[in-house]
Amino acid sequence: MMSQLDHKVAVVTGSAQGIGKAIAELLARRCAHVVVADINIEKAVVTAKAIAASTGVRAVAVQTNVVDSASTQAMIDRTMEEFGRIDILVNNAGTTRDNLIMRMSEADWDLVLGINLKGAFNCSKAAVRPMMKQRYGRIINISSVSGLAGQAGQTNYSSSKAGLIGFTKALAKEVGSRGITVNAVAPGFVPTDLTNDLLAKVQDEAIKMTPLGRLGSVEDIAYAVAFLVSDEASFITGQVLSVDGGLAMQ
């Protein structure tokens, strides 16, 4: 059994549902207090209450727009007020606006890059200061197989997720001397509200392309995150862990 997170404090963005919710739930089951940060505060409150009730840890819902630096700073300020520290940041908030480049609007490019990439910058910038004072922190960025291999019709999404990989490696070099690790998890095809429309069209093909012969689950991604924030992974930084059933072998 992997060691418990022993009342560490974890902030997970985009965690009212989907992969982020699964991550927050698993970290809570491993004894971390969690901040459910999401732009949809109604869903975030429901998720936080359910996590607290089922695990006994403290769970706080905070409305957060990751594109807005004032909002992400307020998210970290609220975390510090509630718990006095932040140990774990999972940059999970993301969106898609798929289209062929000839049909993709500038607004859809800006929206996806803003949430997926700038959002991670805003949240990490706010979280790094208290982590550096503590001389401890774990930052996990949720990338994608699309950031490693590219995906037709996703130039905006693939660019944002590839950018997250470069961001992960650069930040890992900046903050390593302060006891902070920074890693990325790159999911393959995982059914969520975000991917349901895509998978409905290509699900059979996606399964054929995946050596393990199945789609991933939100729990598969959560377990990878839980490992990377654990003491067992304390000497791992700047890495990209693909959780994709072998889809994008490097």
Annotated active-site positions, please? 157
Closest C-alpha to 130, from 189, 79, 93: 79
110's tokens: 């800006």
Residue 94 CA to residue 23 CA, distance in Å, equals 14
Compute CA 97 distance to the chain's CA centroid, rounded to the nearest angstrom: 18
- In sequence order, what DSSP letters do the residues of 21-69 get, joined into one string? HHHHHHHHHTT-EEEEEES-HHHHHHHHHHHHHHH-S-EEEEE--TT-H
* R_g of the chain computed on alpha carbons: 17
Q: Are 89 and 129 in contact (CB under 8 A)?
A: no
Q: Are the beta carbons of 132 and 82 closer than 8 angstroms? A: no
CA gap 199, 142 in Å, rounded: 19
